[in-house]
Amino acid sequence: MSMLRPLVLTLVAASVLAGCSLADQGRSLLGGEPESGPVAFTHSSGLAAVTLRYGNRDKLTQLLGSGIDLWSVDNDLMEAQAALNPAQIETARKLGMGISQLPDRRLFNRFDAGYHTYEQVASKLRALAQKRGDIATIVDLGDSWEKTQKRADRDLLALKIGKGSGKPVVLFAACHHARELATPEMVLRMAELLIGQYGVDPEITAWVDTREIWLVPMVNPDGHALATRGDSQRKNTNDVSGGKRRVGVDLNRNYATAWGTVGDSPHPESDTFRGTAPFSEPETKAMRDLMTAKKPVFLLTFHSYSNMVLWPWDHKDASPLDPRLPAIGKEFGKLSGYVAQQGSELYLNGGDDVDWAFETLGTLSYTIEVGSRSDGFDPPYSRVDRFWNENRPMMLYALKVADRPAGVFGPALRDLAVTEAGILVRSESPVERAEAFLGTPGASGTGIPLAIAGNEARGQFATTASRQLLWVHARGRNGEWGPWEVTWSR
């Protein structure tokens, strides 16, 4: 060990010396190949955390094929953050990428107080289901891999919120990747919001009454247990197919669409190991079976990090042939402040949930990358409030348009109010027609008509003895009815 130490120090010193030109390296305004600094492997994982200036998407896809652990991508700067082993560093150098090392600290996970462990997630879901048994049920979707091996007792738990059946289904899922610590919190907070505001907030009440909402905060509970102990664990913990240093299957490379074709690895020690077959893992099987049974209108699947909203395809450049997918994705981008684009613009990968759900079920599927490059995988828990403020509006928008996603092409309404003079609502774009429903909405065009004046619509309705939901939407000049606004009738 003492023999090795001087060598390591030398490499680190060289890295520091190279640091004086780091600012220039990031820009490549100087022309030519981006500079590549020395890399020291001082972390016990045998990996180094680096920033890669990858030059173009195809090179990044090619490097991904060597099984690198890609953390984030910034398409504008053409910079990625990743963990690489020595062979992968050589591959990156051969591809002409610029490389600069990040601190080894990025290879640990810091599980800040406030984040929920699997046990805490389970007890929170139970408490919510107990509090509102009339609208919420806990569903056990299946065993984690360790439970199938009798090594641990963890289930894939879902909270189902809604009333009755036959309603449009919306699925929020998080933590396919264990160490992405902020992601279960988004789904948990949505569960708390829906339960806590039912009967209080008119829109929440409307969505709970008329949609079937599935919340799966932790798709990878075994990997998460490692992450809570400080491991930078991405995959599940399946070790039967090999892998000593970094066990597990990348659950988001294990779905059947384009499985094993691009952007994943056949090597068990790789962080993008795709598994031995599509749906080889109990966790992805459980998600497949849930989605096959429920055919969700929307899937929002939470990852970290990059502040991005991504939609299919991820495995090929072709357009997705459903104009609603990018239109709603761009709306999500506006609501969150995140960059919104088709996933394949970043790099290509097969085997993920969004491509599978869209291809197989037509589900409008979105990968949400929560947090910025400085947040990384394990930001302080205090950052979660901000993430929730960014993510909540788009999650609610998915619920809003779940009955008719093409509503994204119609007029958006705001400032809906019921006053002594009746209904008043404003539109952000020209409106041809507007109408209201009391209680539950009927077919478009059969509601109480409102009078249009400029970008305002007004109308009257017979007052009700009890408080009811009042639903309003409007039709634009393109003939599309827009999303619902909902308030209380009194």
List of residues contacting Zn ion (CB under 5 A):
177, 303
CB atoms within 10 A of CB 286: 21
CB atoms within 10 A of CB 230: 13
CB atoms within 10 A of CB 4: 9
Is the CB of 205 or the CB of 367 nearer to Zn ion? 367
Is the CB of 216 or the CB of 402 nearer to Zn ion? 216
CB atoms within 10 A of CB 428: 11
Q: Do the beta carbons of residue 214 and residue 157 sit within 8 Å?
A: no
Query: How far apart are CB 179 and Zn ion at their closest, in Å?
Result: 9
Q: Could you give the CA distance from residue 254 to residue 351 in angstroms, rounded to a whole number?
A: 5
Query: How far apart are CB 354 and Zn ion at their closest, in Å?
Result: 12
Is the CB of 69 or the CB of 435 nearer to Zn ion? 69
**Does the annotation count 345 as an active-site position?**
no
Helices (H), 32-117: 57-64, 86-94
User: Which of these is catalytic: 369, 390, 435, 485?
Assistant: 369
Identify which of 68, 91, 106, 84 has the alpha carbon closest to the alpha carbon of residue 273: 68
Q: Could you give the CA distance from residue 352 to residue 367 in angstroms, rounded to a whole number?
A: 10
Query: How far apart are CB 86 and Zn ion at their closest, in Å?
Result: 24
Beta strands in 189-285 (DSSP E): 212-216
Q: Could you give the CA distance from residue 82 to residue 107 in angstroms, rounded to a whole number?
A: 10
Is the CB of 315 or the CB of 433 nearer to Zn ion? 315
Query: How far apart are CB 177 and Zn ion at their closest, in Å?
Result: 3
Is the CB of 235 or the CB of 303 nearer to Zn ion? 303
Q: Could you give the CA distance from residue 383 to residue 380 in angstroms, rounded to a whole number?
A: 6
DSSP 281: S
Is the CB of 158 or the CB of 370 nearer to Zn ion? 370
Give the strand pairing for 48-53 and 79-84: antiparallel
Angle between helices 202-210 and 384-400 (to 10 degrees): 60
Which residues lie closer than 8 Å to 195 by C-beta, 6 or more apart? 128, 131, 132, 135, 136, 161
Helices (H), 337-460: 353-361, 384-400
Which positions are annotated as active-site residues?
Answer: 369
